Amino acid sequence: MDLFTIADIIGICAFALAGFLVGVRKELDILGICIAAFLTALGGGIIRDTIVQTTPFAFREIYPFICIVSVIVLAIALKVHQRQNLDQNRLFIVADSIGLVAFSITGTLIALENNLNIFGVIFLAFLTATGGGIVRDALVNEIPFVLNADFYGSVAIITAMLILLADMLGVLDHTAIFIIGTLCLALRLFAYFRG
């Protein structure tokens, strides 16, 4: 299992937990809570893959499904829904930020593979990272958080632009991606905890 898959798994789990918490807060029933968890974690990727005309990753690989089911079972077992402000917990923020950056990187790389232009690259990175949360918030009738909290979506855009730059300079390899990912993660955490 490579480093990127690990980051992807951390992201899926964090996003699923975020969705679970929104479902609980909105007093959805158990099916509604599960839908919120699945949509948040996988919605962005499903829309992205549909746009670039491939079978959604989550419909081919089984590990995202297993991660999310595990998160839901654990969250219920640990009565996570009775705790206050879990979504401001430090560990949660770090996991969520890893997901944000990992998902932005996937979206960017898939856009580059499909030879999209600069707008397509940024759009796909942004959509992969925030699309699940946007769909979830639209369904429960909240204005998507990303429309009001700029230094979340901006991280996705910055990540996409740095990778695009590395690609143009011809230096896009695993090391470059790792460095860009670390930088953007640091930027996000710095902005969150200082701002």
- Residue numbers at the binding site for a copy of itself (CB under 8 A): 23, 26, 28-32, 35-36, 38, 46, 50-53, 55-56, 58-62, 64-65, 111, 114, 116-120, 123, 134, 138-144, 146-150, 153-154, 157
Select 149 or 179, whichever has its Cβ closest to a copy of itself.
Answer: 149
Measured over all CA atoms, what is the biggest interatomic distance in the chain, rounded to whole angstroms? 51
Select 60 or 90, whichever has its Cβ closest to a copy of itself.
Answer: 60
Q: Hey, what are 109's tokens?
A: 């790389």
Query: Smallest distance, Å, CB 96 to a copy of itself?
Result: 18
Select 176 or 191, whichever has its Cβ closest to a copy of itself.
Answer: 191
Query: Smallest distance, Å, CB 45 to a copy of itself?
Result: 12
Select 35 or 175, whichever has its Cβ closest to a copy of itself.
Answer: 35
Select 51 or 189, whichever has its Cβ closest to a copy of itself.
Answer: 51
Query: Smallest distance, Å, CB 178 to a copy of itself?
Result: 26
Query: Smallest distance, Å, CB 166 to a copy of itself?
Result: 20
Helices (H), 52-89: 57-60, 63-77
User: Could you tell me the CA-to-CA distances from 129 to 5, 29, 161 in Å, in that order?
Assistant: 15, 26, 14
Per residue, the 3-state secondary structure of 107-131, as one string, reads HHHHHHHCCCCHHHHHHHHHHHHHH
Distance (Å, whole) CA 136 – CA 22 = 9
End-to-end CA distance of the chain: 35
Q: Are 159 and 180 in contact (CB under 8 A)?
A: yes
Q: Hey, what are 76's tokens?
A: 């219920």
Query: Smallest distance, Å, CB 174 to a copy of itself?
Result: 26
Query: Smallest distance, Å, CB 68 to a copy of itself?
Result: 9
Distance (Å, whole) CA 39 – CA 161 = 26
Q: Are 16 and 72 in contact (CB under 8 A)?
A: yes
Select 149 or 186, whichever has its Cβ closest to a copy of itself.
Answer: 149
